[in-house]
Amino acid sequence: MTATFSLDHARSLDAADSLAQFRARFAIPDPLLIYLDGNSLGRQPLVASALAHDLVERQWGNDLIRAWNHGWLELPERIGAKLAAILGAQPSEVILADSTSVNLFKLAVAALRARPGRTKILTDDLNFPSDFYILQEASALLGQGHTLERIPSPDGIHGPLAGLLAALDEDTALLSLSHTIYRSGFTYDLAALTAAAHAVGALVLWDLSHSAGALPVNLSLARADLAVGCTYKHLNGGPGSPAYICIRSELQSDLHNPIPGWMGRDDMFGFQPQYAPDPSLRRFLTGTPPIFSSALIEPGLDLILEAGIENIRAKSAAQTAYFIDLWESLLKPLDFALQSPTDPTSRGAHVALSHPHAAAIDQALIHAHAIIPDFRPPNVIRFGFSPLYTTFEEVFRAARALVELTASKSYIPFQITLPKVT
Amino acid sequence: MTATFSLDHARSLDAADSLAQFRARFAIPDPLLIYLDGNSLGRQPLVASALAHDLVERQWGNDLIRAWNHGWLELPERIGAKLAAILGAQPSEVILADSTSVNLFKLAVAALRARPGRTKILTDDLNFPSDFYILQEASALLGQGHTLERIPSPDGIHGPLAGLLAALDEDTALLSLSHTIYRSGFTYDLAALTAAAHAVGALVLWDLSHSAGALPVNLSLARADLAVGCTYKHLNGGPGSPAYICIRSELQSDLHNPIPGWMGRDDMFGFQPQYAPDPSLRRFLTGTPPIFSSALIEPGLDLILEAGIENIRAKSAAQTAYFIDLWESLLKPLDFALQSPTDPTSRGAHVALSHPHAAAIDQALIHAHAIIPDFRPPNVIRFGFSPLYTTFEEVFRAARALVELTASKSYIPFQITLPKVT
C-alpha cells in the first residue's frame, strides 16, 4: 500500500472533516461495527429513544385521543415541510403518506388521468423492480392501452439518457425514473430530464428513495412535477418509516387522488358521504397515519437540516471518490469490477462492486469482519456511505478487509449464503 | 335514584367482574379520568413501553438491517395470525398491511375484477364515509359501469337488513358493509348476510374496524370472503397502527392485488422486473411496513387473547345494557335520545345518545368532568365501553355526570366547540 492508502491517511481525512461531530448524535452501541448499509436502513439518531418514550407514555398513554388535536393531525404536513427543506421544495409541496409504492400508484394514476390520449409511459431498465410493478398495474387498471417502455441502460450502470431523450415524444404521458439508481448509484440530472419531458408536454414522476438525504434534489429549481420516496434510507427515519409525496404547487388542484380517504377530505370531521378533496396537498392522504413510525422520522431530518445537505453531499462525494481510488489501486487487481459511475456528478452515496464470489465475500465481511454492506444478487455488493456517521477510517478498513479476505480466499467458508434485505 | 342506580351497586358489579384485573395491565396515569373513547383510540398496554424501548434501541439502534432477518420480515404474518385468532379466521387468512382505506381499495378492486359482468356494489347509508369514497373510486377507476347502491337505514340506527336482502341479485358483484356501524353501534349478523350474498354469487367485503376486539367475528364460521379493519380502536394497537386484510383461503389464489409491491412478490429478493405474486396472502402486501407502529400492536392483541373474546363480549354487553338502563331511567327525561339498538345481539361496544346540546355537553364532560366520550356531528355523543379497562363505576359516573350537567344546564359555557377526531 502506498502512503495515501494508510490508516493514518484515513484518520487525517477524518480529522479535517467538518461533519465529524455528527457521528456522536447517533446510537453506535458497537463502535467496531462498520455499517455501510445506511442506504438500506439509516442508523438511529440518539434523540429517537427519548421521543419514542414520549410518544408511548405521554402522547398515547396519557393524552390518548386528545393527542390528535395536539399535533398528530398535522404530522403529515409538519414532517413534509422538513422534507421539503431537504428536497428543495416549498413546504406545501411535500406531505408524509403511506409507503413509496402506494404513493407511486396514486401519482402514476393521477398523472395518466391528467394526460388523456397519451399512451406512453417511459422508464429505464435500472429502475427499482417494484416501480415497474406499480407502473404496469396502474396503467392496466385504467385500461386505456398505455404501454410501459423500459429503455435499456447501455452498460447496466449508467441511465440511458440518450435513449430516454429519443423516446420522449408527444405520445408520452409520463416519464418515471429513480433519481439515483438502487444498484449502481447512477444519478440522473433531474432538472435536464424534467425540462426534456416538459418540452413534449409529459409529466415527470421521480422516485427519490436513494437520493433524498444524500444529495441536493432541488425539486423547485427543476420544476419537477411529482416525486415520491422512502424515509428509512439516507433520511434515517427508522425501519419502514412512511414515505412522502411531492406535487408541484401549480399541479396540486388538478390532480385527483385515486385512493381518497378521510385524512384528505375537505372538512374531515363533517362525515359527509361524498368526497371533496382538501384544497391543500392533504388531498393525497388516505387513511390514518401510523403515528409512532411517522413521528420518529423527525430526529433524522433535524440532523440533516442542521448539517446541511450541501455539506453532506460534499463529504459523500469525497467518501465515494476515496473508496473508488482504493478500488482502483487495491481491489481491481483482485477481480472486483466497479459497477458505479466514475463521474462524481452522476454518482449517488453508494458504490457497487461486482465479484465472481460476491455472495460469499458479503457474508465473510459481515461475519468475520463485522462490516455490513449490502448484497444484490447475483454478484454485486453495495457500499453505502452515510456522511453523518461513516468515517473515512471505516471506508479504508472496509477496503482493507476486502483485500485481506479476497487475497487469502478466506471467504470460502461462506459460500452458502442467506437471503438479505433492502 | 333507585338503589340499583348507585355507586355501591356499580362497585358491586366491578367486584363480581372476572375481567377486572386486566385494567392494571394498561397505563392509566390519571385514574380519575374516565376514558370512554376506546372505540376511537384504545388505551396503552403497559408492556408497550418496554417494547418501544427495545424496538428503538436494540432492534433499530443495535441490530440495524439485520433485524429484518430476525422478525421484521414476518411481522405482517405474525401479527396477522394473532388477529386471526381474535377474528375467528385461520392464521393464514389475515395479514397486517397499510391503512383500512388502502386495504379496502385493494380488496374492492380485486373483488370487482373477480365478478366481471356484474355491475352492482351494495352498501348501506350508515357505512363509514371513507368506505363510500373508496368504493366509488375503485369502481370509477375500473371504468366498467359499476353503480354503488346505498340502501337507506329505516331509522338512522339499524342497518337496512330487508332492503339489502331485497337488493341482492344476480347483478351484484360486491356487498360491502361495516360489521358494526361507527355511529349507532348497530351490528349486522355477519353470517346471515354473507350467506345471502353467496346465494346470488356475490362477494362480501366487511369493514371490522368497530367490531374487531369487541365481539366474536367468526369469519371462518360465516365463510366470509373478505374483510379489512383498523387496529387502533378496540384492539388497542396504538395511534394510527396499521390495518389488516382478511381473505378466505379458497379465494386467495384467484384474487389479484392492484397495488403490487416488493413485500408481496414471490422471491422478494430476486429483484425481477416482472411481478409474480407470493403464493400466500403476502401477495396483498405492498411496500415496507412501518415497523414501530406494526410491532406495537402485539401487546394489545395478547391481552385480548388472554382475556378471551367471548368474555370481553359478555362484559361489553353487560356494560352497554347497564348504560342503556341508566339512560332509560335518568337521561331520557333530560332530552337524551338513544341512537343505538336496544336489542343486545345487534349492538356493538358503544352506545350513542343524541341531545339538542350534544356538542356543548361533550365539551363540558371533557373539561369539567374529566370524562372523554366521542362527539359525532351534529348532535350525537358516543360512549365506548372497553371491557379490559372500563369499570362499571365509570359507566355509572358518566351517566351521573350527564344528569348533573344537563339538569343544571352547566354545559352552557361550552357552547363554542372545537373539532374532534375519530
Alpha helices for A230-345 (secondary structure H): 249-252, 291-295, 298-307, 309-326
Query: Of the candidates A27, A30, A40, which has its C-beta nearest B57's C-beta?
Result: A27
- In which band, very low, low, confident or very high, does the pLDDT at A412 lie, cut at 50, 70 and 90? confident
Query: Is the pLDDT at A316 greater than 70, yes or no?
Result: yes
- In which band, very low, low, confident or very high, does the pLDDT at A271 lie, cut at 50, 70 and 90? confident
What residues of B act catalytically? 128, 207, 232-233, 382
Residues in chain B within 8 Å Cβ distance of A132: 273-275
Query: Is the pLDDT at A163 greater than 60, yes or no?
Result: yes
For residue B148, give Cα distances in angstroms to A233, B107, B129, B140, B141: 42, 16, 13, 10, 13
Residues in chain A within 8 Å Cβ distance of B419: 69, 269
Catalytic residue flag (residue A128): yes
Query: Is the pLDDT at A417 greater than 70, yes or no?
Result: no
What's the confidence (pLDDT) of residue A201? Answer: 98
Indicate the DSSP class of residue A186: B
CB contact under 8 A, A289 and B419: no
Q: How far apart are CA A49 and CA B326, in angstroms?
A: 46
The fraction of chain B above a pLDDT of 90, given in percent, is: 94
The pLDDT mean for chain B works out to 96
All three cell numbers of B29: 396515569
- Beta-sheet pairing, A147-151 with A380-384: unpaired
Q: How far apart are CA B137 and CA B207, in angstroms?
A: 17
What's the confidence (pLDDT) of residue A368? Answer: 94
**Residue A132: closest C-alpha in chain B:** B273
pLDDT per position as a tens digit, B162-201: 999 999 999 999 999 999 999 999 999 999 999 999 999 9
Query: Is the pLDDT at B270 greater than 60, yes or no?
Result: yes
- In which band, very low, low, confident or very high, does the pLDDT at B75 lie, cut at 50, 70 and 90? very high
CB contact under 8 A, B286 and A99: yes
| Mean local confidence (pLDDT), B294-322 | 98
Domain ranges of chain B: 7-46+308-414, 71-306
Distance of CA B318 to the CA centre of its chain: 19
Residue B27 distance to chain A (closest CA, Å) = 6
pLDDT per position as a tens digit, B124-141: 999 999 999 999 999 999
Residue A2 distance to chain B (closest CA, Å) = 34
Find the helix or strand (DSSP H, E) in which A227 lies. strand A226-229
Query: Of the candidates A48, A64, A273, which has its C-beta nearest B132's C-beta?
Result: A273
Query: Of the candidates B60, B64, B293, which has its C-beta nearest A291's C-beta?
Result: B293
CB contact under 8 A, B65 and A41: yes
Residues in chain B within 8 Å Cβ distance of A273: 125, 129, 132, 150
Residues in chain A within 8 Å Cβ distance of B53: 49, 52-53
Contacts of B12 (CB under 8 A, 6+ apart): none
Q: How many CA atoms lie within 13 A of A243 on its CB side?
A: 27
What's the confidence (pLDDT) of residue A3? Answer: 59
- In which band, very low, low, confident or very high, does the pLDDT at B307 lie, cut at 50, 70 and 90? very high
Q: Does the domain at residues B71-306 carry the CATH identifier 3.40.640.10?
A: yes
- In which band, very low, low, confident or very high, does the pLDDT at B419 lie, cut at 50, 70 and 90? low
A vs B: CB pairs below 8 A: 288
Q: How far apart are CA A220 and CA B384, in angstroms?
A: 47
Query: Of the candidates A53, A133, A372, which has its C-beta nearest B260's C-beta?
Result: A133
pLDDT per position as a tens digit, B276-305: 999 999 999 999 999 999 999 999 999 999
Q: How many CA atoms lie within 13 A of B347 on its CB side?
A: 25
Q: How far apart are CA B309 and CA B267, in angstroms?
A: 37
Residue from A26, A232, A392, A414 carrying the catalytic annotation:
A232
Catalytic residue flag (residue A133): no
- In which band, very low, low, confident or very high, does the pLDDT at B250 lie, cut at 50, 70 and 90? very high
Q: How many CA atoms lie within 13 A of A246 on its CB side?
A: 32
CB contact under 8 A, A133 and B56: no
Q: How far apart are CA A179 and CA A177, in angstroms?
A: 6
A266: three-class secondary structure by DSSP: coil
| Mean local confidence (pLDDT), A251-255 | 97
Interface test mutation site (partner A, options B102, B288, B380, max chain A beta carbons within 10 A): B288
Residues in chain B within 8 Å Cβ distance of A37: 64-65
Distance of CA A339 to the CA centre of its chain: 18
Query: Of the candidates A52, A72, A240, which has its C-beta nearest B290's C-beta?
Result: A240
pTM: 0.97
CATH architecture of A7-46+308-414: Alpha-Beta Complex (3.90)
